[in-house]
C-alpha cells in the first residue's frame, strides 16, 4: 500500500526524537533535513545521466547505511557522504555529523546516528518515483518539518520560515497564476530564508519560471538550496550574502538585476540594516526619489530594494510590521512618495501572532509598477480577525486564505473587510495608511436598552438586526414576536417554545429542505467526477477544482456563508480525503486490507486485527451486513442493561450492613459459595433470593458477552472475506458516496444547525434580557426583603 502523507510526516518527525535533548530545534532541524535531502537525491538522481544533481560515487544514501554502527560513523559521514555531495553541487554550511557537543560522543553518537539513518531506510520512503507527479508529497513533508522546527525554535530562531498559508496568499495576489509566464519569467526573494515563499510563487505560475534568492544566514541559505532541489527546482539560483549591503544579483554594468516578480518576508524593523552600507551614497540608487529609512528601522530599506528590483511592469509583495503604515518622520516621507508614484497597489492587514519570529501583527504591502501612473487609490483588506489557534501561534484557515485572495484579485468591496481607498482620502489623512482609518471592522456593540429595562418589551432594533433571517422567513418573525408599543415588541410564544416555533415553522422547514436539496445537487455532480478518478490523477488540482465548484455553488445563498462551507471541505480533505486521493493516484480503486502486527516489550509479535484505510470496515458493515450489526447492537443493549441491573443490585445491598459486605468480592464463585452456606436456612431466605437474582443476572451477562464475542468474530470474518470480492464500481460507491459525500453532508448539515441555533439563542437571549422590567424587579426585591425581615424577627433578630 502507498504511504499516507500523514504517515510520512510522522515517520520523519520521529527522526527528531533521536536528536532532542542534545540541541535545540534550530540546530537539529539541519541534521534531519540533510538526511531527507541525501535520501531523496540518492533515490531520484543516483546513476541518472545529465542529472541536475550529481551524486559522487560512494556518496549516496546506501553508502551512509553501510556506516551504521561503525565507531567513527560521524567522521565517515562527513568525509564520504556530506563533503563530496556538497562539493559536487556547491552546497555550503552543511552540519557537522561528528560534533560531539550536539550528537554526543562515543557510543551515544554511534547509536543516535545509526537510529536516525534507520528511520530513512523505511521501504515506503522510496522517492525514485514521484507517485502523484505535480503534487510533490516530499516537498510538502519538507514544509511540514520546517513549520514544526520553526514552532520549536522559539522567538529568536524561527525567522527562517514564512508560514505556508501566508506564502500562498502572497503567491496568489501577485497575479502570477493568471499571467502569461515562460521559463524566462523571473521570481526573486531578497531575504529568502529557507525558500518556502519563493517556491510558493513558482508553484502558482503556469510555466516553470526561474527562481532567484539571496539569504544572509549561511546555514539557512543551505536549507533553501536543498528545499529547491526537494521541490524539483534544482536550477533555482540561491546565493548567500547581505542583500542590502551586497546584493548579488546584478547585470553586466553592476546595476541591480530587475525581475518580473519579487516577494519577501524581511526581518522586522532591522536595527542593523545599514551595516556595510552608506545609505546616502547607495550605488544602486534604491533610496533616490523616495528617501533614506531611519537608522534603526530597516523596513522601508527592504521595501525600496524590492521596488528597485522590479521591472517597469513588475509586481511584488512584502510582509512588514503594521508600523510602516503610520510611522512618521522619514518613513512618512517615503510612504508619501511611494503612494504618489502609484506603486502601492494594496495593503492586507493580517492577524497578530502568525509569524514565528514575533507576535506583533503584520501586513502585506502589494507593489505593482505596471500602469502605476494611472492608479487612483489603494485597495485595503482588514483580515485581522480570520484565524484559528494552533498551539502557541495563530494560523490562517483555508477559508481565510481564499477570502483574502478573492477580495484582493477581484477587488471585492466587502463591508467591514475590504474597500478601495482613493488617493484623495489618503491625502486627507496625511498619507497615513493605518487600516482602521479606512475600514471599521469592529462588530457593533450589543447595547442595553434602558427603556426596555424600565418598561419591558424587546427593542425592535434588536429584532431588525436579525434581518438576514426575516428575509428568508418573513412570517417567522410574526410567529415569534407581537407588537407591544411603538419601537418595542413582546415574545409571542412561551420561552420554552422558541426552538420548536423556529424549527417547525413552514418557511424555516422549507428553507432547510431547500438547502439540503441544494447540497444534493452539488453532491450528485461531484460524485460523478470523483468516481472518474484514475491512477496518475493530481490530488492538488482535484481539491482546487472541488473547492472552487463548492464556493460557486453556495455563492449568493442566504444565511449560510460560502467560505464556511468551503472550510468544511478543506478540513475533511486534510483529515481524510487527501490521503485517500493520493492512494488512488498511486494504486487505483483497490480495497486492500493490512494486518496490524505489534511487538510487545519482549519482541513478541501480536496480531491486533486488520484495517483498510480507503474502505474502512464500518462502511462494508453498513452496506452489506446491516442485519448482523443490528444483532450485535441488540446484544450490546442487553449486555448494558444486565450490567446496570447488577450494579443497581450491588448498590442496593451494599454498605457495611449489606449482604454483599459478607463477601470478599461480588463474583460468581463467592456468591455460589454463599448460597451453599445458607441453603435451607429459613432466616436467610431474603438473602438467598437476592443472591440468586444476582447470580442469574451474572450468568445472563456472561452469556451475552459470549454471544457478543461470537457475533463480533463472525461479522469480522464476513467483512474481511468481502473485501476481495468487491468490484471497482462497488469500491467507488463505498468511498465516494458512503465515505466522502456522507461526511461532507453531515458537516454541512451541522453548519445549517449552527445557523438555526444562532437564531434560537439570540431570540432567547433578548427575551430573558428584558423579561423583568425594573419596577417589577424592585417590587420583587421589596417582597423578598420583607420576607427575610419576617424570618429574622421570628428568630429574634432585627437589622434596623
Query: How do residues 640-683 score in pLDDT, each as one tens digit?
Result: 999 999 999 988 887 777 788 777 788 888 888 888 888 888 87
The alpha-helical segments, DSSP class H, found in 588-684 are 617-624, 626-652, 668-677
Mean pLDDT of 116-134: 68
Spatial contact of 546 and 579, defined as CB atoms under 8 Å apart: no
Q: How far apart are CA 684 and CA 703, in angstroms?
A: 28
What is the pLDDT at residue 27?
64
What is the pLDDT at residue 384?
94
pLDDT digits (tens, 9 = 90+) for 505-554: 999 999 999 999 999 999 999 999 999 999 989 998 999 999 999 999 99
Band of the pLDDT at 260, cuts 50, 70, 90?
Answer: very high
Mean pLDDT of 46-58: 85
Q: How far apart are CA 588 and CA 49, in angstroms?
A: 31
What is the pLDDT at residue 345?
97
- Model confidence, pTM: 0.86
8 or 46: which carries more pLDDT confidence?
Answer: 46
C-alpha distances in angstroms, 646 versus 136, 658, 673, 761?
58, 15, 18, 42
- Bridge partner list, 491: 481
Q: Which residues contact 378 (CB under 8 A, 6 or more apart)?
A: 339, 344, 345, 346, 347, 420, 421, 423, 426, 433
Give the least confident one: 64-78, 400-414, 652-666, 669-683. 652-666
Band of the pLDDT at 799, cuts 50, 70, 90?
Answer: low
Nearest-Å Rg of the Cα atoms of the chain is 34
22, pLDDT greater than 70: no
What is the pLDDT at residue 15?
60
429, pLDDT greater than 80: yes
754, pLDDT greater than 50: yes
H or E element in which residue 237 lies: strand 237-240
Band of the pLDDT at 103, cuts 50, 70, 90?
Answer: confident
Q: What is the DSSP letter of 771?
A: S
Mean pLDDT of 690-702: 92
534 or 793: which carries more pLDDT confidence?
Answer: 534
272, pLDDT greater than 60: yes
What is the pLDDT at residue 157?
45
What is the pLDDT at residue 183?
92
80, pLDDT greater than 90: yes
C-alpha distances in angstroms, 796 versus 785, 791, 793?
16, 9, 5
Give the least confident one: 40-49, 181-190, 498-507. 40-49
What is the pLDDT at residue 25?
54
With a pLDDT cut of 70, the percent of the chain lying above it is: 92
CA proximity to 303, closest of 287, 314, 289, 288? 287
| Three-state secondary structure call for residue 3 | coil
Mean pLDDT of the chain: 89
Band of the pLDDT at 132, cuts 50, 70, 90?
Answer: very low
CA proximity to 398, closest of 162, 562, 530? 562
Q: How far apart are CA 730 and CA 722, in angstroms?
A: 11
Q: Copy the grid coordinates of residue 300.
A: 522601508
716, pLDDT greater than 50: yes
pLDDT digits (tens, 9 = 90+) for 286-337: 999 999 999 999 999 999 999 999 999 999 999 999 999 999 999 999 999 9
139, pLDDT greater than 80: no
Band of the pLDDT at 162, cuts 50, 70, 90?
Answer: confident
Q: How far apart are CA 750 and CA 742, in angstroms?
A: 12
Q: How far apart are CA 653 and CA 669, in angstroms?
A: 18
243, pLDDT greater than 70: yes
Amino acid at each position: 500500500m502507498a504511504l499516507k502523507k500523514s504517515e510520512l510526516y510522522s515517520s520523519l518527525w520521529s527522526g527528531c526524537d533521536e536528536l532532542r535533548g542534545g540541541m535545540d530545534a534550530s540546530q537539529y532541524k539541519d541534521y534531519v533535513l540533510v538526511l531527507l535531502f541525501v535520501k531523496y537525491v540518492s533515490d531520484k538522481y543516483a546513476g541518472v545521466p545529465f542529472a541536475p544533481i550529481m551524486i559522487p560515487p560512494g556518496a549516496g544514501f546506501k553508502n551512509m547505511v553501510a556506516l551504521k554502527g561503525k565507531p567513527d560513523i560521524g567522521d565517515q559521514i562527513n568525509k564520504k557522504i556530506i563533503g563530496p555531495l556538497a562539493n559536487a553541487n556547491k552546497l555550503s554550511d552543511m552540519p557537522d555529523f561528528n560534533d560531539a557537543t550536539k550528537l554526543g560522543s562515543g557510543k551515544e553518537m554511534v547509536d543516535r546516528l545509526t537510529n536516525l539513518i534507520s528511520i530513512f531506510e523505511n521501504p515506503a520512503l522510496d522517492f525514485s518515483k514521484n507517485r502523484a507527479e505535480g503534487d510533490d508529497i516530499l516537498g510538502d513533508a519538507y514544509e511540514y518539518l520546517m513549520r514544526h522546527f520553526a514552532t520549536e525554535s522559539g522567538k529568536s530562531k524561527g525567522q527562517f520560515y514564512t508560514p505556508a498559508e501566508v506564502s500562498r496568499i502572497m503567491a496568489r495576489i501577485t497575479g502570477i497564476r493568471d499571467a502569461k509566464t515562460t521559463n524566462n519569467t523571473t521570481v526573486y526573494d531578497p531575504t529568502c530564508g529557507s525558500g518556502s515563499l519563493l517556491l510558493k510563487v513558482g508553484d502558482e505560475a503556469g510555466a516553470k519560471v526561474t527562481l532567484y534568492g539571496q539569504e544572509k544566514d549561511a546555514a539557512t541559505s543551505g536549507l533553501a538550496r536543498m528545499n529547491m532541489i526537494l521541490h524539483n527546482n534544482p536550477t533555482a539560483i540561491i546565493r548567500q550574502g547581505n542583500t542590502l549591503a551586497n546584493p548579488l544579483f546584478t547585470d553586466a554594468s553592476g546595476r541591480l538585476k530587475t525581475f518580473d516578480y519579487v516577494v519577501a518576508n524581511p526581518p522586522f524593523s532591522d536595527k542593523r540594516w545599514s551595516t556595510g552600507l552608506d545609505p546616502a551614497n547607495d550605488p544602486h540608487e534604491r533610496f533616490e526619489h523616495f528617501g533614506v529609512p531611519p537608522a534603526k528601522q530597516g523596513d522601508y530599506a527592504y521595501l525600496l530594494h524590492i521596488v528597485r528590483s522590479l521591472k517597469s511592469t513588475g509586481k511584488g509583495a512584502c510582509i512588514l510590521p503594521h508600523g510602516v503604515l503610520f510611522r512618521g518622520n522619514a518613513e512618512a516621507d517615503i510612504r508619501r512618495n511611494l503612494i504618489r508614484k502609484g506603486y502601492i497597489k494594496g495593503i492586507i492587514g493580517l492577524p497578530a501572532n502568525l509569524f514565528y519570529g514575533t507576535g506583533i501583527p503584520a501586513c502585506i504591502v502589494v507593489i505593482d509598477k505596471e500602469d502605476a501612473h494611472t492608479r487612483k487609490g489603494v485597495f485595503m483588506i482588514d483580515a485581522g480577525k480570520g484565524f484559528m489557534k494552533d498551539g502557541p501561534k495563530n494560523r490562517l484557515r483555508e477559508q481565510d486564505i481564499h477570502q483574502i485572495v478573492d477580495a484582493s484579485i477581484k477587488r471585492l468591496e466587502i463591508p467591514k473587510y475590504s474597500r478601495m481607498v482613493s488617493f484623495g482620502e489618503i491625502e486627507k489623512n496625511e498619507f497615513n495608511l493605518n487600516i482602521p482609518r479606512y475600514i471599521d471592522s469592529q462588530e457593533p456593540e450589543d447595547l442595553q436598552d434602558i427603556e426596555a429595562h424600565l418598561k419591558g418589551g424587546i427593542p425592535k432594533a434588536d429584532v431588525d438586526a436579525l434581518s438576514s433571517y426575516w428575509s428568508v422567513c418573513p412570517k417567522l418573525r410574526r410567529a415569534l414576536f407581537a407588537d407591544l408599543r411603538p419601537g418595542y415588541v413582546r415574545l409571542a410564544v412561551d420561552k420554552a417554545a422558541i426552538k420548536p416555533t423556529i424549527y417547525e415553522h413552514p418557511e424555516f422547514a422549507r428553507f432547510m429542505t431547500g438547502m439540503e436539496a441544494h447540497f444534493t445537487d452539488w453532491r450528485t455532480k461531484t460524485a460523478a467526477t470523483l468516481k472518474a478518478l484514475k491512477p496518475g490523477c493530481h490530488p492538488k488540482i482535484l481539491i482546487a477544482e472541488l473547492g472552487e465548484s463548492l464556493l460557486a455553488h453556495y455563492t449568493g445563498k442566504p444565511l449560510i456563508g460560502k467560505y464556511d462551507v468551503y472550510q468544511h471541505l478543506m478540513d475533511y480533505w486534510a483529515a481524510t480525503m487527501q490521503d485517500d486521493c493520493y492512494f488512488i493516484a498511486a494504486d487505483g480503486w483497490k480495497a486492500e486490507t493490512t494486518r496490524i502486527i505489534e511487538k510487545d516489550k519482549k519482541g513478541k509479535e501480536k496480531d491486533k486485527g486488520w484495517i483498510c484505510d480507503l474502505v474502512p470496515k464500518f462502511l462494508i458493515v453498513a452496506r452489506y451486513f446491516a442485519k448482523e450489526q443490528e444483532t450485535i447492537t441488540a446484544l450490546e443493549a442487553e449486555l448494558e442493561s444486565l450490567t446496570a441491573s447488577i450494579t443497581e443490585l450491588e448498590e442496593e445491598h451494599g454498605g457495611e450492613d449489606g449482604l454483599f459486605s459478607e463477601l470478599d468480592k461480588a463474583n460468581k464463585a463467592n456468591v455460589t459459595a454463599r448460597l451453599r452456606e445458607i441453603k435451607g436456612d429459613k432466616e436467610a431466605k431474603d438473602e438467598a433470593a437476592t443472591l440468586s437474582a444476582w447470580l442469574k443476572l451474572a450468568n445472563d451477562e456472561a452469556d451475552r458477552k459470549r454471544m457478543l464475542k461470537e457475533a463480533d468474530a463472525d461479522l469480522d470474518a464476513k467483512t474481511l472475506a468481502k473485501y476481495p470480492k468487491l468490484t471497482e464500481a462497488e469500491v467507488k460507491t463505498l468511498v465516494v458516496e458512503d465515505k466522502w459525500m456522507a461526511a461532507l453532508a453531515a458537516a454541512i448539515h451541522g453548519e445549517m444547525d449552527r445557523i438555526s441555533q444562532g437564531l434560537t439563542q439570540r431570540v432567547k437571549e433578548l427575551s430573558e434580557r428584558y423579561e423583568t422590567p425594573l419596577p417589577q424587579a424592585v417590587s420583587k426585591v421589596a417582597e423578598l426583603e420583607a420576607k427575610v425581615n419576617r424570618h429574622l424577627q421570628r428568630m429574634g433578630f432585627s437589622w434596623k
